[in-house]
Structure 1
Amino acid sequence: MNTNNAPPPVGSNQPPKMTARGVNVFYGAKQAIKNVSLDVRADEVTAFIGPSGCGKSTFLRCFNRMNDTVDSARVEGEIKLDETDIYAASMDVVQLRARVGMVFQKPNPFPKSIYENIAYGPRIHGLAANKTDMDGIVEGSLRRAGLWEEVKDRLGESGTAMSGGQQQRLCIARAIAVDPEVILMDEPCSALDPIATARIEELIDDLRGKYAIIIVTHNMQQAARVSQKTAFFHLGTMVEYGDTSTIFTNPSEGRTKDYITGRYG
């Protein structure tokens, strides 16, 4: 394990919720991520930006071991949740994914009712002792996702019958129903219209501080709006990482400036 690759200091009084040190990712012989180190803090939204194929989604998937589902994938280095090495042999991956939830690019509600979409995770993890408890979890999760008033009278209807924007907020509600500590979002607005995108961005802002949030986005304006820290990736390397305002107004690396000003990507 390579633990000597500390990220550049970017000030926050909060201790890191997750840390990555010297992370390399390979798909077979091809290296997709090269020696990346950064900290993720609970009181911030961290955005990963960069051109298509630069490795930002691959790196995101390292934080809840989603790359384990790819036979050819190999992850080297160290990633910790608090002080726990998430790649340790003793790590329960099911429990890890309850603590580090994920929202995918395309809304993927279960083919179940709105209620059952939310209740599924808490039921598996034994978070509700009875129906009253479960009702409270479902309502609370939908409220935090800004959906309760829209769906409270049709909880028995299918989640797949909702609009795209509602489906994505349902997926966010499903992720937070198991009381995670970190939420990973892989381009959560790329399939949505501008109005639905604005709702998701408002939701991310509302959730900041309750969860550590990492968002992958191609939309640089979105990264500037919702995040406090930004990491710019290019060809599998993290070129620059720091305060979002600095990355967008005064980047220290020429490649970052070229990408942000539209010279490539």
Structure 2
Amino acid sequence: MNEVPVSSHVKMVARGVDVFYGTKQALFGVDLDIRDNSVTSLIGPSGCGKSTFLRCLNRMNDVIDGCRVEGKIELGGQNIYAPNVDPVLLRARVGMVFQKPNPFPKSIYENVAYGPRIHGLATARNDLDQIVETSLRKAAIWDEVKDRLHEPGTGLSGGQQQRLCIARAIAVSPEVILMDEPCSALDPIATARVEELIDELREGYTIVIVTHSMQQAARVSQRTAFFHLGNLVEEGETDHIFTNPKEKRTQDYITGRFG
């Protein structure tokens, strides 16, 4: 395997990543750099491997029977698939926000406090209070929930629930936040709020987002990677991918000829 050079300002590096579900291969030799403090969009038609790749980045595929990941993925120079890496601790460093908002059946406060508590980031009530408030502020939902922190998170609207889930991910101070189609279950107004939030968060976090919406990729990301049939076809600055792609398959997908 030829060594692919790694540029500076890279937070995560994937090299030669193959993924198998049983005997079926879902990803083929993916090489991708995830830049620090930027948003990278993964786009492509359904079943192309973009969500499979996203789940490799925090070892969520470990929980799928028969799934095997080969190749190398590094976070800050450390192989995340090394035997001495604890996936639970890894997922504190690489948080995830899912397609459908999934708050815990707990209060708004406890949704955010849960991670810091189990990871030992805070034990004193004052420290937890501070983490909860800071996380909810960063997720742009504090003003809406500050007077109802002890009400159930499940009682919020869909868009608020998704921002609560983002606050929950932020609360353990991750380095990277993965988002798997975070707006697909939301209405346009809630989607706009989450997109604004993503733009603000990239100052402090590295973000990777899977999206079916090319308009969303164009709005929120600095870099875009196009997947097709389990292959990474092309990756580069978002503007270039959308206006001047190198590959015909990318051009065809962006102009709606398939997908």
2:15 corresponds, among 17, 21, 31, to 21
Residues 5 and 22 in structure 1, CA contact (< 8 A), matched pair in contact too? no
Q: Deviating runs (4+, > 6 A) in structure 1?
A: none
Q: What corresponds to 1:255 in structure 2?
A: 249
Letter in 2 for 1:94: V
Q: Provide the secondary structure at the position in 1 that maps to 2:72.
A: strand
Structure 1 Cα separation of the partners of residues 144 and 207 of structure 2 = 25
Structure 1 Cα separation of the partners of residues 201 and 38 of structure 2 = 10
Residues 55 and 234 in structure 1, CA contact (< 8 A), matched pair in contact too? yes
Q: Which runs of 5+ in 2 are unaligned?
A: none
Letter in 1 for 2:33: D
Q: What corresponds to 1:121 in structure 2?
A: 115
Structure 1 Cα separation of the partners of residues 48 and 3 of structure 2 = 20
Residues 42 and 209 in structure 1, CA contact (< 8 A), matched pair in contact too? no
1:65 corresponds, among 54, 59, 79, to 59
**1:86 and 2:84 are equivalent in the alignment:** no
Offset at 1:41? Answer: 1.4
Q: What corresponds to 2:4 in structure 1?
A: 6
Query: 1:156-195, aligned counterparts within 5 Å?
Result: 156-195=150-189
Closer/same/farther in 2, CA of residues 5 and 31 from structure 1, 3 Å limit: farther
Structure 1 Cα separation of the partners of residues 43 and 158 of structure 2 = 23
Offset at 1:88? Answer: 0.2
Offset at 1:48? Answer: 0.1
Residues 117 and 123 in structure 2, CA contact (< 8 A), matched pair in contact too? no
Q: What corresponds to 2:258 in structure 1?
A: 264
**1:95 and 2:93 are equivalent in the alignment:** no
**1:53 and 2:47 are equivalent in the alignment:** yes
2:98 corresponds, among 104, 113, 124, to 104
Residues 42 and 210 in structure 1, CA contact (< 8 A), matched pair in contact too? no
Structure 2 Cα separation of the partners of residues 161 and 129 of structure 1 = 27
Offset at 1:154? Answer: 0.3
Structure 2 Cα separation of the partners of residues 87 and 42 of structure 1 = 20
Structure 2 Cα separation of the partners of residues 5 and 176 of structure 1 = 34
Per-residue CA shift, 1:14-69, capped at 9, x if unaligned? 42110000000000110000000011111210000000000000000000000000
Q: Provide the secondary structure at the position in 2 that maps to 1:31.
A: strand
Q: What corresponds to 2:230 in structure 1?
A: 236
Structure 2 Cα separation of the partners of residues 203 and 263 of structure 1 = 32
Q: Provide the secondary structure at the position in 1 that maps to 2:46.
A: coil
Q: Which runs of 5+ in 1 are unaligned?
A: none
Per-residue CA shift, 1:166-199, capped at 9, x if unaligned? 0000000000000000000000000000000000
Q: TM-score, normalization: structure 2?
A: 0.98
Structure 1 Cα separation of the partners of residues 202 and 4 of structure 2 = 25
RMSD (CA atoms):
1.1
Structure 1 Cα separation of the partners of residues 144 and 203 of structure 2 = 25
Q: Provide the secondary structure at the position in 2 that maps to 1:233.
A: strand
Q: Provide the secondary structure at the position in 2 that maps to 1:110.
A: coil
Q: TM-score, normalization: structure 1?
A: 0.96
**Number of residue equivalences:** 259
Query: 1:148-227, aligned counterparts within 5 Å?
Result: 148-227=142-221
Offset at 1:5? Answer: 5.0
Letter in 1 for 2:184: S
Residues 147 and 166 in structure 1, CA contact (< 8 A), matched pair in contact too? yes
